[in-house]
Amino acid sequence: MKELPTFLSRRDFLGRSLGTGLVLGAPNILRAATSGGSDKIHVAIVGFGKQAEVLFNCLKNIPGLHFQAVCDISKSKLQRGVGQIRVHQGSAPKGYEDIDEMLAAEKGLDAAIVATPDFWHSPHTVKCLDAGLHVYCEKMMAHTIDAARDMVHAMERSGKLCQIGHQRRSNPRYRYTLEQLIHGKKICGQIVNCNGQWNRSLGASADIGGEKLHKSAIVPTEVLNRYGFKDMHQYMNWRVYRDLSGGPISDLGAHQIDIFNWFLGVAPKRVYATGGNSYFKNREHFDNVMCLFDYDTPHGEVRAFYQVLTTTSYGAGFYESFMGTEASIKISEISHNSIIYREDGAPNWDDLVARGFLSRKAVPAPPPPSADAVASYESAPPEAFDLPGGFNKPAHQPHLENFFEAVRGKATLNCDARHAFESEAPIFWVNPSALSKQPIEFTKEHLHV
Ligand SMILES: NC(=O)c1ccc[n+]([C@@H]2O[C@H](COP(=O)([O-])OP(=O)(O)OC[C@H]3O[C@@H](n4cnc5c(N)ncnc54)[C@H](O)[C@@H]3O)[C@@H](O)[C@H]2O)c1
């Protein structure tokens, strides 16, 4: 039978793992958790802010889930969560301000979705795992490397599943690119350089809240203080505070640096970073960071450059590029930002196009050489190709599907806490390198649990 790209021949990649699927104990076979003896998975959502809403809109598409409880320190967010769930499932979940009260009161929970600010991930995830729940926790695992380590230990101690929300790990386009094009067809030749970025405009990076905040959104100061926030500014803008988050390099950079580490299959050996408060002078975290990771891969050395800029959107948003001797792949969660360039002189891809692995991109013809071109030094323009097919689900859905398939014992996790830790560990060292203006050579202590 003619070989077909799996991207076309399978609906998605559920249940497949690429060196990242660890079977953690025996995934629980679900007990009959409802009085009706159904096999519904009983879920709690911890933190019902912006990202939890995005996740909930994906969770609504996954059959067999019952949302039993919601926990949020904000009355308005809690009401919003309870209301949305009531509309979706026809019955309201129980609402809680405090996770300890929720875990003490709610019997029969199977899983928790943790979408609180980063400094709460570790305590919330550890509590849920220790209470016997499987956990899907948003990235970045934690604001400190030790807090992330605690999550791995809790996962392994409890024998429960803990998926970290690096959703690209379950994205069919990413998995197809890695499995079929880079590993299978070796389309890039030798990958020598990587490049990634998240460039965001001032407008998108500005502080949230301020004068315009509606009365109902205000959380009383004593509640804020109880949960580690000094005031409403910290509560709404936790990403810019050192004790609450790792700043832009962890908030945004976590996505792309994870892809470098996943695609290259090894940890970097050192990082050099620089950063500054070029515009947001009063922020505790650098507003712009550039960093370089060195890798020794089985195929040779690789350098990976990454930048997170919060003062410009120039350069087309966010993506990761893998530049090889025969081709370069630029991939992004935004599908139209993804493109593959074949180097002039590399083996031709007519056969791959004919079999549907790739499609030729219609690109305007290059302009005729002009008098000022240094023609003899110029490379011929690379030929551009698209990945085949489309990916029509919301970006987070396949990763959540993978989690619940694993809870049902039908899949292994695509990004469990141990693998997420191994990929995230180098990110924790970018700010220290930028602050000290020194490269950091990674040792076992830097990168291991
Ligand atoms: N994977 C992705 O693409 C992606 C995208 C955006 C955000 N995120 C992650 O999702 C998480 C949440 O981000 P967000 O933008 O929704 O933030 P947010 O501030 O909008 O929401 C956080 C919510 O948690 C609640 N909360 C705070 N402390 C709590 C506590 N102790 N107990 C219970 N509830 C508490 C807040 O009231 C709020 O409703 C972060 O970790 C972020 O990094 C991931």
Q: What's the CA gap between 66 and 23, in Å, rounded? A: 25
pLDDT higher at 81 or 360? 81
**What is the percent of the chain where pLDDT is above 70?**
87
Those residues with Cβ within 8 angstroms of residue 380's Cβ, 6 or more apart along the chain or in another chain: 344
This prediction has a pTM of 0.92
Ligand 1: atom nearest CA of 77 is 39
Distance 51 CA to ligand 1 centre (A): 6
pLDDT > 50? residue 187:
yes
CATH number of 170-363+381-391+425-447: 3.30.360.10
* Ligand 1 atom at shortest distance from the alpha carbon of 98: 32
Query: pLDDT category, 126, cuts 50, 70, 90?
Result: very high
115 alpha carbon to ligand 1 midpoint, in Å?
Answer: 5
Test site for ligand 1: of 45, 46, 51, most ligand atoms within 8 A of the Cβ: 51
The domain limits of the chain are: 13-168+400-418, 170-363+381-391+425-447
Highest mean pLDDT pick, 31-35, 159-163, 171-175: 159-163
Among 138, 164, 231, 255, residue to substitute to test ligand 1 (most atoms within 8 Å of Cβ): 138
Phi, psi of 386 (to 5 degrees): -105, 155
Region 107-115: mean pLDDT is 98
CA distance 49 to 226: 18
Residue 14: the pLDDT is 30
Average pLDDT over residues 236-254: 97
- Which residue's CA lies nearest to atom 21 of ligand 1? 49
DSSP H helices, 386-429, are 397-407, 417-424
Of 80-84, 116-120, 305-309, 344-348, where does mean pLDDT reach its minimum? 344-348
C-alpha of residue 178 to centroid of ligand 1, in Å: 30
Question: What CATH topology corresponds to 13-168+400-418?
Answer: Rossmann fold (3.40.50)
Phi, psi torsion values for 70, nearest 5 degrees: -130, 145
Structure tokens at 445: 């202590």
Backbone angles phi, psi at 171, to 5 degrees: -75, 120
User: Span 135-157, mean pLDDT?
Assistant: 98
Q: What residue owns the CA closest to ligand 1's atom 38?
A: 49
pLDDT tens digit string along 398-442? 999 999 999 999 999 999 999 999 999 999 999 999 999 999 999
Each residue's pLDDT tens digit, 303-340: 999 999 999 999 878 999 999 999 999 999 988 888 99
pLDDT of res. 213: 83
Ligand 1 center from residue 229 Cα (angstroms): 13
Q: Which residues are CB-neighbours of 35 under 8 A, at least 6 positions away?
A: none
